[in-house]
Structure 1
Amino acid sequence: KKIRNDAKNRKAFIVFDNLERIFDKPELMEELADIITLADDSEFISNNVRLLIVGVPAGVKDYFSKTPNHRTIANRIIELKEVTRLSEYEASRVIKHGFETELGYKIDEKNSAAITQHILWVTDRIPQALQDYCLTLALHAEKNGFKIHPNDLQIADRTWLTGTLNAAYQTIESQLNERDTKVQRRNQVLYVLGKISESEFRTNDVENAIRTHLYEGKHDVTIGGVANCLAELADGNSAGGAKQILRRTTRGDAYMFIDPLYRMCIRAMLRVSNEGKVEKIGLESIE
């Protein structure tokens, strides 16, 4: 009633934000399901207050439909289309307008395209991430006379990884091969997942990406073990029970990131050495 009174003649919502924080916690999802059943409560209906669930993971309706005790919950949910990435043009305009027009910063003219491309790459052109990263970069560049140079990106990466992406960094780190294996297949899979821009990907997509980015020109190399790696990353049982970072799509024939922050983190933290090995960039080494 209080929410209805506060809203007066406007639409009223009870908002549950950051769903991604509990998506892998069944007991909390159970509690959320109980709350959703309030949609049928006569007093709740009479006050015309709606529930709004906000978060990164897609497929919330599908989650409940696959849970035997919660199939009726799925009927109460209308899943809205997620916020999409900006186009390269839109994101580039945001960067240029924000730094140069609004803030009066100077972007190194010789490296302007490379700087912009790096920002687009690590943020995946997702609006919130783009804004967050650019704020991090702006705060650092402010100390250097409001000028942005390529070296500033490394500092911004480190600050972003130790701040916004810290939890994602720890999760990706736990999924890397613990020992120096010859093939490093799981590390290779993780690395190329950052290279794939599509939201959904299949085993053959990942195999092709490994061949393209890590075995260019080596057509006789067999790319094996990818299906198993993807299954482990989705089940959360690789690397000694590390947290899952992928989930299977509704059809079950492809995968997607549980949280797009994992893709951004991979792009910022993994590199390929001169010897062709996938290596993480330790937070202490990013200067």
Structure 2
Amino acid sequence: MRRLKAESIFTPKGNSVNEKMYVPRSELETAFIKALRKPKHIIVHGESGCGKTWLYKKILAERKIKYEVLNAATVNTAGSISNAIRALTARLTPFETKSYEERKGATASVGVAKGDLQHTRKYDALPLEPYLELIRILYRNAGANDSFLVIENLEHIVKDEKLVRELSSILMYLDDSEYAKYKIRIILVGTTSNLRDYFSKIDSSQTIINRTQEIPEVSVLLSADAKALVKRGFFDLLKAKCLVDPAKGFDEGYLLNAISWFSANVPQYIHELCLELALEIEANNYIITNELYTQCLRNWVQEALVSENTRMEAHLNSKATKHARRNQVIFTIGLISSNEFSAQEVEDSLRNRFPDSTYGKTLNIPAILNELASGNSPLIRKTPKGTRFRFLDPKIKIMARWILVKDEGKDTITVKKFDESIKF
């Protein structure tokens, strides 16, 4: 049987959209398509690896809309957004003419043979404002049709008030006649939620808000969609088979549930974990066994999450603590499916999971969450309005699921070693 290559099916960092593995999300796609038709800049936000880039690339490609990407991560190196724009412009037009020559002829008749003398003067073209120069190029490349400048990784900008002000100035050009005639709008893409709240720090915040529109968050997949994605990749496209192991409860359903759980339904992590397993089963006649799955899961966790291990350990209570409240809180928020949570939601869930150790006691969950959101290596962060929390990175949620296990029939938490945990 001729099979597709594993890396053509599972593409965690693919530059192009893998149509066969694309998960349609009708609400998001509809919202984005509507936003394209409105005369405003567009904000696309969501946790890292959840499919923001795939979403806009797929929709823009389907509608044959041209765009160029400015990676905001380059702004720190460039020193400013304007410098990053200049670098993008230079890449798009490396041999653009920056000056012109004027030649004039004059008739000579005194003391020389009659004829023309040629005089040349060279004029340097005045440099355009960087953003104006860029959008003129984008307009030309798009054949005078609507096109977009996509600013990716916006989280590299929003924490610097100076850069936010510079970005705001660019967004203000939306309905300036000199800029608007080039029919270029901006798509802002980043992990930060409620991006427009960051513009409230500047004087013209309301004006900026009126020039932007935010589509719903590009979030993690639903569990059913995540499992369907794994099943399509392994069993429909790769033609793999799952070897049932009744003694260990391993079968296709177990595999799909486990990958959904340990990836936290983040599309990028699903692809990473599945690619790890897909490459391994090539040497096993494309048969997935419990042993192969377990080893590949460990390999992926140790590669993808090792940077979060020290961060997590810094916040955990001692293993010897009888009712390690902080461990209970971290365990509880690790189980929450939504990206954001409030202190009250955490307390309700914690009391439900640990009824004996919480009965009749004041838990002071807000204080614990604030501790987890502070220090040099926080696990969570407050939302811009400060009323809710979310994980700093989805990997931290996966780490909580990886090393924290509730003891059977007890209200205690066991902290597993980083390289030994596997239960879900």
The TM-score, its normalising length taken from structure 1, stands at: 0.79
Q: How big is the shift at 1:69?
A: 4.8
Q: Which structure is larger by alpha-carbon Rg, 1 or 2? A: 2
- Compared with structure 1, are the counterparts of its residues 165 and 219 closer, same or farther at alpha carbon in structure 2 (3 Å cutoff)? closer
CA distance in 2, matches of 1:187, 1:21: 31
Alignment partner for residue 248 of structure 1, among 371, 383, 397?
383
Q: How big is the shift at 1:101?
A: 1.4
Q: Give 2:352's aligned residue.
A: 212
Q: How big is the shift at 1:179?
A: 8.0
Q: Give 1:225's aligned residue.
A: 364
Alignment partner for residue 328 of structure 2, among 188, 207, 212?
188
Alignment partner for residue 415 of structure 2, among 255, 279, 284?
279
CA distance in 2, matches of 1:286, 1:176: 16
> Counterpart of 1:137 in structure 2: which amino acid?
L
Partners of 2:230 and 2:274 within 8 A in 1:
yes
CA distance in 1, matches of 2:378, 2:155: 13
2:170 matches 1:38:
yes
> Counterpart of 1:267 in structure 2: which amino acid?
R
Partners of 1:39 and 1:45 within 8 A in 2:
no
Q: How big is the shift at 1:47?
A: 2.2
Q: How big is the shift at 1:273?
A: 5.5
Q: Give 2:397's aligned residue.
A: 263
Alignment partner for residue 19 of structure 1, among 130, 133, 154?
154
- Unmatched tracts of structure 1, length 5 or more: none
Q: How big is the shift at 1:184?
A: 2.3
Q: How big is the shift at 1:147?
A: 2.3
- Compared with structure 1, are the counterparts of its residues 154 and 228 closer, same or farther at alpha carbon in structure 2 (3 Å cutoff)? farther
Partners of 1:185 and 1:225 within 8 A in 2:
no
Q: How big is the shift at 1:183?
A: 3.3
Alignment partner for residue 92 of structure 1, among 209, 223, 227?
227
RMSD of the alignment, in Å?
3.2
> Counterpart of 2:388 in structure 1: which amino acid?
A
Identity across matched positions, percent: 26
Partners of 1:137 and 1:156 within 8 A in 2:
yes
- Compared with structure 1, are the counterparts of its residues 219 and 82 closer, same or farther at alpha carbon in structure 2 (3 Å cutoff)? closer
Question: By percentage of residues, which structure has more helix?
Answer: 1
Q: Give 1:114's aligned residue.
A: 254
CA distance in 1, matches of 2:406, 2:151: 40
**Count of matched residue positions in the alignment of Structure 1 and Structure 2:** 276
Partners of 2:346 and 2:365 within 8 A in 1:
yes
CA distance in 1, matches of 2:343, 2:288: 39
> Counterpart of 1:228 in structure 2: which amino acid?
A
Q: How big is the shift at 1:2?
A: 2.1
CA distance in 2, matches of 1:7, 1:168: 43
CA distance in 2, matches of 1:111, 1:79: 42
Higher relative CO (Cα under 8 Å, sequence separation at least 6) belongs to: 2
